Structure formats: structure tokens, C-alpha cells
Structure 1
Amino acid sequence: MGATGSGKTTFINLASGSNLRVGGGLESCTSSVQMAQAFKLDGRSVTLIDTPGFDDTSKSDSDILHMIAAFLAAGYESGKKLAGVIYLHRISDFRMSGISTRNFTMFRQLCGEKSLKNVVIVTNMWGEVSKEVGDARERELATKEIFFEPALAKGASMKRHSNTPASAYEILRTIVDNHPLALQIQRELVDQKKDISETSAGKELNKEWEKQLEKHQNEMKKIQEEMAGQ
């Protein structure tokens, strides 16, 4: 998982030998949940799943949530649990934007606190920054409460990806032997029979909508006041 353009599909293709379509421009190519071809890693069969980001250019956040939730719920109902979840973030980003923060907030609500020990936050695109800049950004991401620190404190780990198959395999080795855990949204939808709007991720999305609506209303009010004063 991760924001659009964070390198999710490239990572999956590199590790699995798949040919999932990779976006080269501003538009996202991953507009549905995709399963890569299974491959062997140290004798274990591994299947990676690619998901669109919550900032997708062709679908709303609501559509993305429904899509990911339906896929995860169906897998859980058939007895499948994830050994781990990888969240990708570009270290090349000048700052963690509101979109990136929202993506990670939604990610945390999907996973839940109990599953964070099976989460790996992967920073990539290190070749696009100097060592000093990359190290400073990594330190900030890991230690600030508004970024990844709360997830790391709950058991998530943080790794660097150097865009090689060996680097991808090293990251995957940290999760393939995990005890598989159900994600929070799987428990909410399947075990607790909640509607998607009642899940933690659904509530977070509604909260974001309300925030955006209030912002829009305030902007409209300001424009109307300026026009009335002319």
C-alpha cells in the first residue's frame, strides 16, 4: 500500500517478476486490487497484492476503500490472512504532504493497532536525494508523531529499499515468517458484521469529507463576502 506514485507496482514487479502496469506520469495505473504471480522465496510461496492509493486519479477515496475492503473481506472469509503489509513512501518527497498523511492515516485504520507488528514501512527512491538529505528525512519520519512514529511505537518496522531485487527480498524476508494476522477492517466487516461506513476506515473517510466540506463552505462564504463588499 501507499500513495499514488510511491513505487508499489515497481516493487512488486521487481520481486515477483510480474509485469503489472506501472504509471510513468501523474495518472495512477493501479486502479484496482491486483495479485502478482506467486514466486518462491527461500522455499516459501509468496503472493504480493497491489492496491491503489487513496489519492487515485480515476476513482474516489470511497471507491478505493470499498474495493480494498471487499478484497480483504473475501480473502478473510475464505480463510486467508496476510503475513504482512508493506507501506511504501518516497524519501524523495520534499515534505510529507496532506495527501501522504491522509493515505497513511487510512492505512492505519485499515490495519488496526494489533496488526502493526506485521507492518513494514518502506522508504524508496533514495537515488533521488543526497545521503544527508535522505538521512534527515528518514529521521524526521521515524521520530515525529504526525508521521510514522506512532506506528513504529506499536511494533511496525521501517526499512530502506534500494530498487534492486536483493533489496526487495530482504524486506520480504522480514515478514514471510510472521504469524498471519487479520487486519482491523477484516475483523470489522466479517467477524463484527459492520457496514463499511461503521468501520474505523469508513469513519475516518467520513471525517475527512466533513473537513473538506467545511473548508469549501468557508471558502465560498469568503468569496461571497468579498463580492458583497465590492
Structure 2
Amino acid sequence: MFSGVLNGALASIAQLKPVLIAVMGATGSGKTTFINKISGSDLLTSHGLASCTNEVTLSKDFTLARRTVILIDTPGFDDSTISDTDVLKMIGLYLSTTYEKGYKLAGIIYMHRITDPKVGGVSRKNFRMFRKLCGDDTLKNIVIVTNMWGQVDPERGAERELELQTDEDLFKPVLREGATMLRHYNTVASAEAILLQLVHNSPQALRIQQELVDERKDLADTGAGQEVARELMELKKKHRQEVAELTKEIEEAAKEKDVRAQKEISEERKLYEERIAKAQHDLDNMSKQNEEEKKKLEAKIESIKEERMC
């Protein structure tokens, strides 16, 4: 699961003790493009809403303000190829394992497309998960970055920016408590300006790191885990209602002896039943940590430490 980029970056971590900054946000918000722009990495980028980031990966290390920096690329909680449960398990595994080895984040960047005319349910879900992962104590180490300014009329973009800053259900509470909002113009200069807000911070543990490591909580019992579970339960409830409605339609079609309608509606009902089963599967598997992956990551970190001490 962890790529060669991650392995190389872990070597840099052990040798240089760099500044670690995580980059999060919805799929297609420009996380990987931002990372490649500033670090010179060649991580795969997504096109539109199709994700290429389906694992936690690290950038090449680079120097900024006389500090060695490594950026952490993460999949969004709306990934087209993996479930929210798997995304959470992946991020939780990486963050908890590195925290156990003594590594904390100096900052977290949350990317948001300024091109979005409205903040939809997917974007709000991603930010809710972001808040649960980070907690309240790390807000001063968070920068919300609005992206893709070259694709929007400047005046309209400024209006949307103000809407985002004053939305009580989105960014206003975190900005009020110490987070910062900055623009990214898809240039190295603006990327550097953003990172300069974070590179000199004192590294802090995220809430999920404290929960998993310090408090020894199961992933399902963390704030982020409970949020994923809540959404899965809501999804199951919605699909069950749809199944119930379709069952009534099948009964009506049977009374009318409409065999074709019965078949079509039954096939549609089967799809919703499969979605219910998938949601339950995701709920059941949230707590099943991949111990093999954890051991591999731990071993990799330890071997790198030993190599650098020789």
C-alpha cells in the first residue's frame, strides 16, 4: 500500500528530521498538484473528480527557509475507488505509527476549489472529517487554501471567498479560533508563501493521534471513526427506505401482472440491497486494523534509523 515515494521519504525523515506538513481536502481540489509544484515531485494527479491518490504518499524532501520539508498527500473522503472507511484506516495507520515513532506535524493544509459555485454535501463531509482528524488544539497550525483562482472571475472568486470565510457551518469557526485562509495561484511563489506560514510552527499531535496512541482507543471509537459510522448508518437508513418503496412497487406490479415491471424494479431493489450490505461491511471492518501493514511500516522506520546511525 505504501509506495516507493513513501519509503524514500521515510529515509529523509530519519536522516534530516524535516518539517512534516499534511495536505488534505476533497478529491480534485488540487492537493497533489500543489505538492508537485512546490516539491518537484511527480506524484500522480487526478483529473476532474476521479482520484489518483488512493494511499498516503510523501513528496520528495525540499528546502524552504533553511528547513527541510516533506509534504504528505492524502486521499479524500469522497474517493472514487476506495471507501471512506478504508481512507480513514489508511490515514489513521500512517498518523498513529509515525506518532508512535516520535514524528508530529508542523502544519496541515486543507485545499478547497474556489471554482465551486456552492459548497455541496461532499465538500462539507470532507471538512467535517478534517475537523475530527485534527481536533481543536491544532487550529493555529492549519491553513485553508483556496485553489484554482485562474479558472474563476476575480470578482466572483472574491465573493465566494467571503462566503466561505463567513459560513458558520464551514470555515468561520476554525478561522475564528486561529486557522488561516490563503489563496494559491498555482505558482511556486504562492505555494512557498503558504508553507512559510507553517514551517516554523512547533509540531503538534492531531486529535486522532492522541486518541489512537495516547488514549489507546479503537479507530471506531475516535471522533473521526464515529463520524464515518454516523454517515454509514444514515446511508443504510436511506437505502432501506428505498428498498421498502421498491418492494411496494413490485407488489403493485404483481397485482397488475406486469412481469416486465416486476423484473426491472427487482433489479433496482437488488442494487440498493447490495449498497446496504456494503455499508454494513464498511462498519464491521472499521476496527479491523491491518496489522501486517503496521508492522511493515514500523520495520521500515526502524531499519532506516539503524542505517543512519551506522
Aligned to 2:202: 179
Please name the residue that 2:178 is paired with.
155
What is the aligned partner in structure 1 of residue 219 from structure 2? 196
TM-score (norm 1): 0.96
* Superposition deviation, residue 227 in structure 1: 4.5
Distance 2:125 2:176 in 1: 19
TM-aligned CA deviation for residue 226 of structure 1: 4.3
Equivalents in 1 of 2:67, 2:49: separation in Å? 36
Structure 1 SS opposite 2:109 = strand
Structure 1 Cα separation of the partners of residues 112 and 44 of structure 2: 19
Alignment of 1:17-166 (within 5 A): 17-166=40-189
Residue 3 of structure 1 corresponds to which residue in structure 2?
26
Q: What is the one-letter code of the residue matched to 2:209?
A: Q
**2:236 corresponds to which residue?**
213
TM-score (norm 2): 0.72
Give the AA of the match of 1:89: H
Residue 245 of structure 2 is matched in structure 1 by 222
- 1:146-176 deviation digits (Å, cap 9, x = unpaired): 2211221221111000000000000000011
How far apart, CA to CA, are the structure 2 residues paired with 1:221 and 1:137?
41
- The 3-state SS of whatever aligns with 1:53 is coil
Counterpart amino acid of 1:184? R
Match of 2:298 in 1: none
1: CA distance, partners of 2:167 / 2:50: 30
Match of 1:114, SS state, is: coil
Per the TM alignment, residue 42 of structure 1 is displaced from its structure 2 partner at its CA by 1.3
Q: Which moved more, 1:195-204 or 1:25-34?
A: 25-34
Q: Percent identity?
A: 53
Distance in 1 (CA, whole Å) between partners of 2:154 and 2:250 is 51
Shift of 1:179: 1.2
CA shift digits 1:174-212 (9 cap, x unpaired): 011111110000000000000000100000000111111
Q: Which moved more, 1:151-160 or 1:104-113?
A: 151-160
Q: SS state of the match for residue 239, structure 2?
A: helix
Count the aligned residue pairs.
230
Amino acid at match of 1:147: L
CA distance in 1, matches of 2:170, 2:162: 11
Alpha-carbon distance in structure 2 between the residues aligned to 1:154 and 1:218: 40
- In structure 1, the gaps of 5 or more residues are none
* Cα shift at 1:116: 1.2
RMSD: 1.2
